[in-house]
Amino acid sequence: MALDESLQAILDKWGSEDHLYDFLHSEMESLSCVVFGKEVSLPDIQVKPNWLARGIMGEHPTAGGDYEPEDNEFPAQIGLFPSVLLDERMIQIVIAHELIHHWEYMVHNDCSELNYPAEIDEVIDRTLKTPKRTSRWRSGHSARFISKATVVARKLDLPLLDMLFRG
Ligand SMILES: [Zn+2]
C-alpha cells in the first residue's frame, strides 16, 4: 500500500535509483564543504524504510534521516527515509543535519563555534513541548550541534528549525 506508492512516486521523480543516489552523493559532497570547510571522508548514504523513522516508541515522527558513526569495520552511514526524497530542499536539510552529527564525531578540537543565540533554546523548548521530549532530543543534540546547525543554516539560507528537527 503506502510503501509501494511512495516508492513509485520516488522512482517517477528521479527516473532511477542510480539518478537518485547520484544526486544524494553530490549534495552530500557540496554540503560537507559547508559543514567541514575542507575535504573529509564522507559517510555512506542509504535510503531506509520509513518505519525506521518512527522509532520503537514513535517518539520521532518527523525524522527524515539518521546517522550511525563508524563502528569497527562498518563505515559511518547516513540513512534517509523515503518521506523526504520527493523534495530537493528537504533532502538538503536532512543531509546537512546528519553531516553535523558526522562533524561532531570527526572533529573534536574545534571550540570556536560554541555559541548560539539564547532565544534558540526557548524555541527548542517550545517546539518540543514537554520536558521529556526535550531532554530526549537534547541527549542526541548537544550545544555544539546546535551552534554548528545555526551557522550552517545561515550559510545555506535554510530554515534552522527544520535543520534541527527534521534530521
Ligand atoms: Zn539528529
SS3 state at 67 = strand
pLDDT at 6: 77
pLDDT bin (cut points 50, 70, 90) of residue 1 is very low
- Span 136-161, average pLDDT: 94
- Burial of 52 by CB count in 10 Å (0-12 exposed, 13-18 middle, 19+ buried)? middle
The yes-or-no verdict on residue 62 having pLDDT over 80 is: no
User: How far away, in angstroms, is 29 Cα from ligand 1 center?
Assistant: 19
Domain that residue 106 falls in: 2-165
Does the model's pTM come out above 0.75?
A: yes
pLDDT at 39: 85
User: How far away, in angstroms, is 167 Cα from ligand 1 center?
Assistant: 5
Most distant CA pair in the chain, distance? 49
Dihedral over alpha carbons 99, 44, 11, 164 (to 10 degrees): -20
User: How far away, in angstroms, is 100 Cα from ligand 1 center?
Assistant: 8
User: How far away, in angstroms, is 27 Cα from ligand 1 center?
Assistant: 18
Low-confidence winner among 17-21, 49-53, 59-63, 86-90 (lowest mean pLDDT): 59-63
User: How far away, in angstroms, is 115 Cα from ligand 1 center?
Assistant: 18
What are the residues whose beta carbons fall under 8 Å from the beta carbon of 122, sequence distance 6 or more? none
Q: What angle do CA 145, 151, 154 make, to 5 degrees?
A: 135
Spatial contact of 52 and 79, defined as CB atoms under 8 Å apart: yes
d(CA 156, CA 159): 9
Element (H, E) at 152: helix 143-156
Q: In the predicted model, what is the mean pLDDT of the chain?
A: 88
Could you give the number of structural domains in the chain?
1
